[in-house]
């Protein structure tokens, strides 16, 4: 019975990851403005993968996922603008209660892009501290905001840029 529960849990996680990837793929075609850059441009570069908690199921890249950055000093204001108490967020766990509206997107998001077929992404940002988030767009109209945030993590970007590989799974979004 316990094995059956694990199989069901794995199937649910895979379904959720597939749905996020599908919505983000639609967003990459018609969603908020994205920034596509070469990996050697300073900023934040990395790969987004799903984290499997089953030894026989490998981690896989998450293509077409919406990735965006908010300056760390403005992140509490974004949370407040969306009605999420700052103390309710325990990073890097998931942020199921955060939906970024179009107004907040315009005010707080400084760079965005989509992960490619290998799960790779690049955000063109200046040196500084940021929260990098992954999200999918509204399920009613994937070309429009709000973006439903799956998770965020804090990163410091140096003058030469920073590599930030992200894994998403049962523990939320975690840097690796």
3 state SS of 61: strand
Residue 55 phi/psi, 5-degree rounding, is: -60, -30
**CATH classification number, 2-175, choose in 3.40.50.300, 3.40.50.1820, 2.60.40.10, 2.40.50.100:** 2.60.40.10
Q: At 172, is the pLDDT very low, low, confident or very high (cuts 50, 70, 90)?
A: confident
Report the distance separating Cα 108 and Cα 92, nearest Å. 19
Can you give the pTM of this predicted structure? 0.71
Give the range among 21-30, 84-93, 153-162, 166-175 with minimum mean pLDDT. Answer: 21-30
Q: Which segment, 20-29, 55-64, 86-95, 118-127, is predicted with the most confidence on average?
A: 118-127
Beta strands at 120-123 and 44-50: parallel, antiparallel or unpaired: antiparallel
Residue 8 phi/psi, 5-degree rounding, is: -60, -45
pLDDT tens for each residue of 41-54: 689 999 999 988 88
Report the distance separating Cα 141 and Cα 88, nearest Å. 28
């Amino acid at each position: 019975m316990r094995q059956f529960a694990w199989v069901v849990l794995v199937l649910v996680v895979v379904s959720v990851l597939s749905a996020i990837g599908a919505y983000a793929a639609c967003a990459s075609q018609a969603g908020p403005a994205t920034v596509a850059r070469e990996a050697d441009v300073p900023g934040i570069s990395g790969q987004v993968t799903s984290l499997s908690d089953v030894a026989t199921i490998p981690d896989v890249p998450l293509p077409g996922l919406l990735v965006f950055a908010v300056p760390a000093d403005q992140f509490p204001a974004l949370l407040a603008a969306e009605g999420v108490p700052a103390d309710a967020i325990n990073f890097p766990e998931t942020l199921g209660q955060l939906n970024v509206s179009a107004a907040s997107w315009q005010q707080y998001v400084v760079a965005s892009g989509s992960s490619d077929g290998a799960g790779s992404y690049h955000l063109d940002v200046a040196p500084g501290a940021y929260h990098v988030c992954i999200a999918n767009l509204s399920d009613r109209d994937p070309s429009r905001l709000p973006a439903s945030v799956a998770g965020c993590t804090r990163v410091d970007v140096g003058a030469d840029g920073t590599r930030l590989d992200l894994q998403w799974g049962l523990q939320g979004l975690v840097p690796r």
